[in-house]
């Protein structure tokens, strides 16, 4: 493990994350769709920003972070393709503080990270607990807290990882051994989306918060996993309806849980015909 020096601040270099989903139809990552919803262009997935913190986590906690660490981010402003952003980590125990800013000084995300599998007062956990009960949901009307889905096959091919490493903002030697970067651990869990959100009415969604909790890692490309999902909370804001849910990931061969990713997905009311007259 690296040196955990209370109050030490680690600042990364400015990086230019790539929006690899520009051509996705009906997606917030598409320029035309995003612009109609008030964004300055197709957005870079929040999961991509997680990769900029990975070298800092390894420097502080060692490579063992990929075997049993956590990271939790709340996204405060979306970025567009090649927009320069800098990651900052304030080292502390039992959790470090994470922030990211663009060149203009606008905060992109804020969060926490640590060497334990679970942090009961992580950034996402605190924010979810503070959310009040929603009004009458329209986009998420078909859901209830406690809804589950199971037996979802999950796998990231090694070829897909290798292709992504050509444009990753921060490349670590571990990735060349097939270890999944934080963005790809989210991508693995996100394979569950067509199942867990199958009843969502027409709308455009984006990541509002993400949390990674690794229990028995590292997780690797070219390996079979199985997912199960649990709806944790349903909330809303003046502009969005929000689904908060866990995706537990198990090793397909052993059935043993190896990681959990918690999603908070914001569905834009302005993108839904159910809110057109509101």
Cβ-Cβ contacts under 8 Å for 186 (sequence gap 6 or more) = 47, 50, 210, 212, 261
> What is the DSSP annotation of 6-70?
TT-EEEPPPB----TTTT-TT-TTSHHHHHHTT-SSSBPPHHHHHGGGHHHHHHHH-TTHHHH-E
- Tell me the pTM: 0.94
Residues 126, 215 contacting (CB under 8 angstroms) = no
DSSP H helices, 79-153, are 123-129
Starting at the edge strand found earlier in the chain, the sheet holding 205-214 runs: 9-11, 85-90, 96-102, 107-114, 70-75, 205-214, 257-268, 240-251, 225-236, 148-154
Give me the residues of the chain with pLDDT under 70, please: 1-4, 19-26, 28-31, 33-34, 277-278
Sign of the four-CA dihedral 151, 157, 162, 164: negative
Q: How far apart are CA 4 and CA 29, in angstroms?
A: 37
pLDDT digits (tens, 9 = 90+) for 245-254: 999 999 999 9
Distance (Å, whole) CA 67 – CA 15: 26
Which of 88, 58, 55, 93 has its CA nearest to residue 73?
88
Picking from 75, 102, 97, the residue whose alpha carbon sits closest to that of residue 263 is 75
Confidence at residue 36, expressed as pLDDT on a 0 to 100 scale: 72
Say if CB 89 and CB 53 are below 8 A apart: yes
State residue 23's pLDDT score. Answer: 60
pLDDT of the residue at 139: 97
Predicted local distance difference test score (pLDDT) of residue 190:
97
Nearest of 171, 68, 79, 186 to residue 124 by alpha carbon? 186
Q: Could you read off the pLDDT of 201-228 as tens digits, one per residue?
A: 789 999 999 999 999 999 999 999 999 9
Cα gap 80→114, rounded to integer Å: 28
Round to whole Å and give the CA distance between 161 and 180.
8
CB distance 212 to 185 below 8 Å: yes
Q: Determine which helix (DSSP H) or strand (DSSP E) holds 78, and give its type and residue range.
A: none
């Amino acid at each position: 493990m690296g040196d955990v020096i209370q109050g030490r601040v680690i600042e990364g270099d400015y990086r230019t994350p790539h929006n690899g989903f520009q051509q996705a139809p009906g997606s917030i990552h598409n320029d035309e769709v995003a612009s109609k919803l008030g964004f300055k262009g197709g957005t870079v997935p929040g999961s991509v920003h997680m990769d900029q913190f990975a070298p800092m986590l390894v420097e502080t906690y060692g490579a063992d972070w990929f075997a049993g660490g956590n990271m939790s981010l709340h996204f405060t402003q979306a970025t567009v393709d090649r927009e320069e952003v800098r990651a900052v980590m304030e080292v502390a125990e039992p959790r470090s503080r994470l922030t990211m800013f663009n060149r203009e000084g606008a905060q992109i995300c804020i969060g926490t990270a640590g060497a334990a599998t679970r942090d009961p007062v992580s950034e996402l956990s605190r924010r979810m607990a503070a959310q009040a009960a929603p009004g009458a949901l329209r986009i998420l009307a078909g859901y209830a807290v406690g809804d589950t889905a199971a037996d979802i096959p999950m796998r990231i091919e090694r070829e897909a990882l290798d292709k992504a490493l050509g444009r990753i903002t921060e490349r670590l030697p571990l990735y060349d051994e097939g270890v999944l970067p934080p963005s790809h651990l989210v991508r693995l869990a996100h394979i569950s989306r067509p199942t867990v959100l199958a009843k969502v009415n027409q709308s455009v969604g984006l990541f509002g918060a993400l949390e990674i909790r690794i229990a028995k890692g590292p997780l690797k490309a070219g390996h079979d996993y199985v997912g199960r999902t649990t709806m944790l909370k349903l909330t809303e804001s003046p502009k969005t309806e929000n689904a908060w849910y866990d995706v537990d990931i198990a090793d397909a061969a052993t059935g043993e849980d190896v990681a959990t990713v918690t999603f908070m997905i914001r569905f834009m009311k302005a993108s839904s015909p159910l809110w057109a007259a509101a």
